[in-house]
């Protein structure tokens, strides 16, 4: 009898050890191009996870939009075809609309302002995202959004005459543009190049780094030098899958993810500034493929800001939850007050 109990105990122990050591594959999708800095950092994060977990956690990366546009990848995440995503703010809105508070148009002028607001709002946003079933591994950004067009477009009224790319799936944003006299065209991000080639769209709001990597600047050769908004992002993992990882390993793995996010943020910001120089210099052997910067004088920038801020009441509560919209603006004003007091 005793030997039977001992044997049963040993069997249970063996099963527990086997369960503890099971391999967990985390499939992650991103629009970031393969071999880009975004992907390189994620690959290195996966290597650190493998070391921390003694080979039991495997990160498989699907880059370059092979899993579809960001709304597609969020849907795949929900039905558990993948377990993690690296998203921009556009895709994050599919999970938590409050992230848009970090991208209020014409509010931020510098990364310092963005960091101040994001660092203080992150805990609240992460709680909301966790309530939806996901863990934020890190926060990042992809640079400043500018408008790239196939003809010079210095004024906001010029933009109203053009067919502008808008993320498919963001219906509230689409209606907001229309309500203010613009002509948005809802497309998947993976269809931007074809949209520009066929004339389906004339202008795209995007970051210089993305415009360089996907070569859309060769079709939309004029960039108005007004910072529209920072394009933020985050890397998320399914909470259900994350909690399968032994608790003792989760802390070091989360720290590895946060370290990766910080490295990426610094690198992307530096490369974003350099991307404009590369595009204005043109591609090797292609003299015509040069980006032209359309300068906006102070009066023009002021007009953009005036018209954009006039739309804030319509954004508040519909596109961005009212409490988070208000908190972002309060923190932004707080930062500027502190900065002014130290000057």
- Report how far apart, in Å, the C-alpha atoms of 222 and of each of 83, 283, 309 are: 39, 15, 25
Q: In angstroms, how far is CA 321 from the centroid of its own chain? A: 19
Report the pLDDT value the prediction gives residue 17, as an integer from 0 to 100: 41
Q: In angstroms, how far is CA 138 from the centroid of its own chain? A: 11
Neighbours of 85 (CB within 10 A): 28
Report the pLDDT value the prediction gives residue 221, as an integer from 0 to 100: 95
Q: What is the pTM of this model?
A: 0.87
Instruction: Please give the domain boundaries of the chain with CATH numbers for all domains.
Output: 22-341 (3.40.190.170)
Neighbours of 286 (CB within 10 A): 9
Q: What is the maximum span of the chain, computed from C-alpha positions, in angstroms? A: 91
Q: In angstroms, how far is CA 222 from the centroid of its own chain? A: 24
Strand (E) or helix (H) holding 335? helix 322-341
Report the pLDDT value the prediction gives residue 5, as an integer from 0 to 100: 44
Report the pLDDT value the prediction gives residue 309, as an integer from 0 to 100: 97
Collapsed DSSP state (helix, strand, coil) of residue 172: helix
Q: What is the pLDDT along the chain (343 residues), one digit of tens a residue?
A: 444 444 444 444 433 444 445 899 999 999 888 877 788 889 999 999 999 999 999 999 999 889 988 989 999 999 999 999 999 888 898 899 999 999 999 999 999 999 999 999 999 999 999 999 999 999 988 899 999 999 999 999 999 999 999 988 778 888 999 999 999 999 988 899 999 999 999 999 999 988 998 889 999 999 999 999 999 999 999 999 999 999 999 999 999 999 988 888 877 888 887 899 899 986 666 655 789 999 999 999 999 999 999 999 999 999 999 999 999 999 999 999 998 766 5
């Amino acid at each position: 009898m005793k030997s039977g109990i001992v044997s049963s105990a040993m069997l249970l122990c063996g099963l527990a050890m086997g369960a503890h050591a099971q391999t967990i594959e985390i499939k992650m999708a991103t629009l970031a191009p393969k071999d880009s800095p975004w992907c390189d950092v994620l690959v290195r994060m996966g290597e650190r996870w493998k070391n921390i977990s003694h080979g039991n956690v495997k990160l498989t990366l699907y880059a370059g939009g092979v899993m579809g546009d960001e709304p597609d990848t969020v849907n795949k995440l929900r039905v558990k075809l993948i377990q993690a995503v690296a998203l921009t703010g556009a895709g994050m809105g599919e999970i938590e609309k409050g992230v848009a508070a970090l991208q209020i148009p014409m509010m931020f002028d510098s990364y310092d302002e963005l960091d101040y607001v994001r660092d203080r709002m992150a805990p609240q946003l992460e709680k909301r995202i966790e309530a939806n079933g996901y863990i934020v591994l890190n926060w990042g950004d992809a640079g400043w959004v500018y408008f790239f067009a196939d003809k010079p477009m210095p004024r906001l009224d010029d933009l109203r005459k053009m067919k502008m790319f808008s993320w498919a799936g963001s219906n509230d944003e689409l209606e907001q543009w229309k309500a203010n006299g613009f002509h948005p065209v809802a497309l998947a991000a993976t269809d931007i190049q074809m949209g520009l080639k066929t004339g389906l769209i004339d202008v795209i709001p995007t970051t210089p780094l993305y415009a360089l990597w996907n070569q859309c600047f060769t079709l939309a050769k004029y960039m108005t030098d007004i910072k529209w908004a920072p394009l933020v992002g985050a890397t998320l993992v399914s909470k259900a899958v994350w909690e399968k990882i032994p608790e003792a390993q989760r802390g070091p793995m989360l720290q590895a993810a946060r370290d990766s996010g910080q490295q990426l943020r610094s690198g992307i910001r530096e490369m974003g500034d350099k991307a404009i120089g590369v595009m204005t210099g043109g591609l090797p052997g292609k003299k015509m493929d040069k980006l032209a910067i359309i300068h906006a004088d102070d009066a023009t920038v002021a007009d953009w800001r005036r018209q954009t801020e006039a739309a804030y009441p319509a954004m508040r509560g519909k596109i961005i939850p009212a409490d988070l919209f208000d908190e972002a603006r309060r923190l932004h004003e707080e930062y500027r007050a502190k900065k002014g007091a130290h000057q």
